A and B are shown apart, each in its own frame.
Chain A
Amino acid sequence: MTRQRFILLTLAPALTVLGLLAAVSTAGAVWFSLMNRVLGSPDYEFVGLYNYLRLLRDKRFFNALEISLIWELITVAGTLVVAVLLAVLVHETVKRALWRNLICFAFLAPVLLPRVAAAFIWRFLYSPSLGLLNWIVGEAGLGPVEFLANPSLALVSVAVVDIWQWGLFFTVILVKLLETMPRDPIEAAMLDNARTWQIHAYVTLPMLKGPLISLALVKAVESLRSFDLIFVMTGGGPGTATETLDLYAYQSGINLGGRVSYASAMSILLLIVTTVAFTLIWRASRKWSR
């Protein structure tokens, strides 16, 4: 077998399958978005850009767009803040390798949980009548808090679960990164009598700028896949207080009458927005991390 044929044989099947599936789903979504197709009814016709025009007048769509943006901001910022603070805390207080590894194991557990399972665990904790959290809140003298039924609390309550999973996971990564840092600049700062927090704020964290930006990017991509968590915990409610774009697309495309064409138009817009946003962020992050 020649080298050329070996390369072709190993690469072609994987890339063909990936390319075909990606092309079929994208082309399919574009095509269906130009129709007025509804699941369960055989008749449909070409309506051009009607679905897109209707989206621009859909208040619920803009609400979902706003919720999605807020969700991205809260979860990405929350995850990074929690991870940085915790990693520094672990790095400074736990010096024995055994204890450090045990803590890392504990912090890895939440991210491995299926999102559906994590959602159930926290729904149980949040429950107003029998949840552990509300018992603690009650003992502290505050009435039962409707974590998931209160429109102004629900999104944050769900975000806490996401940050619980990813913040602790990123903590482990940052602890490992802090361990592999060169010692010289830190020792130089210690000779200058810098305080511990100063060393981290001005020396170690700036040195970790590159990895931190990559982690933020990974989290931003992962935060787009929040459907499972929100679907199980609130189903988008109360009202539309936690309805992100993928939830709305699911509700209108499958649950409520199956308006697949309308949902296709929505997913195409979602695809364009995320592709443009991530290409821009990707380029910018390359520049910053240099």
Chain B
Amino acid sequence: MVPLILRILARLALGLLVLIALAPILWTALGAFKELRDIVTPVPKLFFTPTLDNFATILGNPTIRDGLVNSVLVVAASVGIGALLGIPAAHTLARHMRRRGDDIQFFVLSLRFMPPVAIAIPFIVIYLDLGIYDSLGGLILVYLVTTISTMIWLATPAFERVPPEIEEAAAMEGCSEAEVFWRISLPVAAPSLFGALVFTFVLVWNELLLALTLAAQNATLPVVAASITSLGKEVPWGVINAATVVLVLPPLFFIGLLMGLINSMIRSGGRTKG
């Protein structure tokens, strides 16, 4: 009898934990469709007449629309350039640089240890002196540190997993290094590379500190969202909830891909990485 009760208890606990994991997100999504008077109630309301007003407010607000455009531009450019420079470098590190590759990889990884403030503060002064403060280009340049290093860090193991035999066979056929990379390694490693791309995208899409310090006037979406609370005296909770939902949607879209990335990392590299 006792084991049965224990097992039921364990399942209940698990159910509760899944609820704890998801409830905050669901509650916010619910709040995004509420009118303010449905939010400001002593007893939380589960049933109410839904409204799209909050989303209309957001999409009608020029600051938020500009934030969305800025975010898309900055993220597309920095992730794009990061992939363009990082992926070939990762391939070379995985294939042609057996000896010095480790040192370079450690250098790349050590950039992730750098506190973001230590990057932000000198660049504020430098950008002010150069007159490119508050520009999207300046922000993209600084984001390259994150995107290139993350791409190299995640793409190198992806290329190491490409079976060397296929590459050698192609080289025997007379393909140059560039052709081997473009025709063989890139397509074979593509699924893992896509995961790396998505991870980099999420990192930059979510970034606040550098965007806040280097381009406060050309704000990206996280900066706009962070400043909504200080609009006026009455806190527009419905609008905040709706803004949160808009901010959350693109990364959540990739949840399946992240799962795939974890699976492939653990299956192939669990032991050596560990």
Q: Shortest distance in angstroms between A153's beta carbon and chain B's nearest beta carbon?
A: 18
Q: Shortest distance in angstroms between B186's beta carbon and chain A's nearest beta carbon?
A: 12
A33 to B11, CA, bound (A): 56
Residues of the A chain whose Cβ atoms lie less than 8 Å from the Cβ of B202: 112
| Seed contacts A22-B114, A105-B259; 7 additional CB < 8 Å A-B pairs | A14-B86, A14-B88, A94-B14, A112-B254, A116-B225, A122-B24, A176-B263
Of chain B, the residue at the smallest CB distance from A246 is: B117
A130 to B27, CA, bound (A): 12
**Which 8 A-B pairs have CB atoms at the shortest separation, nearest pair first?**
A28-B122, A210-B274, A10-B88, A114-B206, A14-B89, A267-B118, A228-B208, A14-B85
Q: Tell yes or no: A128 within 8 A of B by CB.
A: no
Q: Which residues of chain A have a CB within 8 Å of any CB of chain B? A: 1, 3, 6-7, 9-11, 13-15, 17-18, 21-22, 24-29, 31-32, 37, 39, 86, 89-90, 92-94, 101, 103-110, 112-117, 120-122, 124-125, 129-130, 132, 135, 164, 168, 172-173, 176-177, 180, 208, 210-211, 214, 221, 224-225, 227-228, 231-232, 245-246, 249-250, 253-254, 260, 263-264, 266-268, 270-271, 274-275, 278, 289
Q: Tell yes or no: B252 within 8 A of A by CB.
A: yes
Residues of the B chain whose Cβ atoms lie less than 8 Å from the Cβ of A117: 225, 244, 247-248
**Cβ–Cβ contact B226 & A124, under 8 A:** no
A224 to B263, CA, bound (A): 27
Q: Shortest distance in angstroms between A284's beta carbon and chain B's nearest beta carbon?
A: 16
Residues of the A chain whose Cβ atoms lie less than 8 Å from the Cβ of B119: 21, 25
Q: Shortest distance in angstroms between A247's beta carbon and chain B's nearest beta carbon?
A: 9
Q: Shortest distance in angstroms between B123's beta carbon and chain A's nearest beta carbon?
A: 6
Q: Shortest distance in angstroms between B236's beta carbon and chain A's nearest beta carbon?
A: 12
Residues of the B chain whose Cβ atoms lie less than 8 Å from the Cβ of A21: 119, 141-142, 144-145
Q: Please classify the interface of chain A as helix (H, G, I), strand (E, B), loop, or mixed, using the class held by over half of its residues.
A: helix
A129 to B114, CA, bound (A): 39
**Cβ–Cβ contact B206 & A6, under 8 A:** no
- Which of B37-45, B47-55, B56-64, B161-169 lies at the interface? B37-45
Contact of A28 among B117, B125, B222 (CB under 8 A): B125
**Cβ–Cβ contact B248 & A114, under 8 A:** yes
**Cβ–Cβ contact A113 & B251, under 8 A:** yes
Known contacts A124-B237, A227-B116; is-contact A18 B209 (Cβ 8 Å): no
Q: Tell yes or no: B72 within 8 A of A by CB.
A: no
**Cβ–Cβ contact A214 & B116, under 8 A:** no
Q: Which of B14, B91, B126, B243 has the most CB of A within 10 A?
A: B14
- Interface size counted on chain B using CB atoms at 8 A: 94
**Cβ–Cβ contact A221 & B176, under 8 A:** no
Give B18-42 interface residues, CB cut-off 8 Å to A: 18, 20-25, 27-28, 31, 39-42
Residues of the B chain whose Cβ atoms lie less than 8 Å from the Cβ of A278: 113
Known contacts A28-B123, A271-B114; is-contact A90 B262 (Cβ 8 Å): no
**Cβ–Cβ contact A93 & B248, under 8 A:** no
Q: Shortest distance in angstroms between B70's beta carbon and chain A's nearest beta carbon?
A: 15
A250 to B18, CA, bound (A): 36
**Cβ–Cβ contact A93 & B11, under 8 A:** yes
**Cβ–Cβ contact B141 & A253, under 8 A:** no
Of chain A, the residue at the smallest CB distance from B28 is: A121
A210 to B273, CA, bound (A): 9
Of chain A, the residue at the smallest CB distance from B114 is: A271
Q: Tell yes or no: B197 within 8 A of A by CB.
A: no
Q: Tell yes or no: B135 within 8 A of A by CB.
A: no
- For this complex, 11 residue pairs linking A to B, each with C-beta atoms less than 8 Å apart, are A90-B14, A108-B258, A114-B205, A120-B225, A211-B270, A224-B113, A228-B206, A228-B207, A246-B115, A254-B213, A264-B122
